[in-house]
Amino acid sequence: MIAQVHSQRRGKLAHAGKSMNNMSVNPTMIHEPLGLYSHAMKVESSCEWLTIAGQLGVDSTGHVVDGFREQTEQALRNILACLEASSMSKEDLVKLTIYSTMPGCIGDVQAARRKVLGDSILPPSTLLIVAGLASPEFLVEIEAWAARKCDGR
């Protein structure tokens, strides 16, 4: 039964998004992902990579938005802007690392991800609880990696 669930999920994820060069991998030998992520992402060697520095809940005017979920949404929107500026899209995301100063924040992180990225974008993700970020007003910071074929989609 577990192998069947993983197989169905893997099939769905492997075909999600616009580009087929990035494939989610959820091995049947380990547990199903516990949240909105995949265990691994396979990327072809002919891909162009983009690394995105940790994004904060700061809008385009330099204003730090209020609230943990709002900062998370803004950081994700900033990642989408970096992708767009690089001729990439959310389907090209292959890794997220989320640094949070708020223990017990997983529900807000998941809600923000669903709102900004949707339910079908599931790159491997790591959530770390940290004592603080560069300034006390920053509650969350999100780094991202993306990859797409150099010869187009």
Domains in the chain with CATH codes: 46-149 (3.30.1330.40)
**What are the tokens at 42?**
């396979």
> What single string gives the DSSP state of each residue in 112-140?
HHHHHH-SS----EEEEE-S--SSTT--E
Helix (H) or strand (E) holding 19: none
pLDDT digit string (tens) for the chain, length 153 residues: 333 333 333 333 333 333 456 778 888 888 888 888 888 878 888 889 999 999 999 999 999 999 999 999 999 999 999 999 999 999 999 999 999 999 999 999 999 999 999 999 999 999 999 999 999 999 999 999 999 977 654
How far is the C-alpha of 58 from the C-alpha of 74, rounded, in Å? 7
Strand ranges (DSSP E) for 1-153? 22-25, 40-43, 47-56, 93-100, 125-129, 140-149
